Amino acid sequence: MAIGLFAIFAILRFRTRNFSLKDMSYIFTTIGISVINSLKLTGFPVLGVIIFNIIIMIAAVILEEFTMKHNIVSHTIIYEDLELLKSAKKQKIIKEISTLTGRDVTCVKIRKIDYKENVAFLDISYRD
């Protein structure tokens, strides 16, 4: 069973677009429930399989609600004020980017600085 799941995820990884971690978790859960339901469990009542499926679905919903409270989104932006980046005033940079984007930015990381174009590529993180 594990080798079959590994093969399915390898095909999904190389043959399709990239999935987010959340989407891959739902795909894994769906495929796992399907494999468990397709097994011939002799001596195991159908009601037990249904209850097991319901427990898995309820756990997925509860975990989804728990993780949505702590959802942090990251984006890459192009920033033109290189003079502010040269200074070590990280809070001032975060405050300015927060006002520019209208989001409560929690973290800023410099990905790349292009001195020829006089821009910087920044990874910003904020709570959604």
Displacement of CA 58 from its chain's centroid (Å): 20
Tokens of 11: 């095909």
Q: In which band, very low, low, confident or very high, does the pLDDT at 29 lie, cut at 50, 70 and 90?
A: confident
Sheet holding 119-127, edge to edge: 72-79, 119-127, 105-114
55 band by pLDDT with thresholds 50, 70 and 90:
very high
Mean pLDDT of the region 73-81: 88
Cα(82)–Cα(29) distance, integer angstroms: 46
What pLDDT score does 62 carry?
A: 87
Q: Which of 101, 117, 36, 30 is nearest to 125 (CA)?
A: 101
**Predicted local confidence at residue 121, as pLDDT:** 93
Q: How far apart are CA 105 and CA 97, in angstroms?
A: 7
What are the structural domain ranges in the chain? 2-68, 72-127
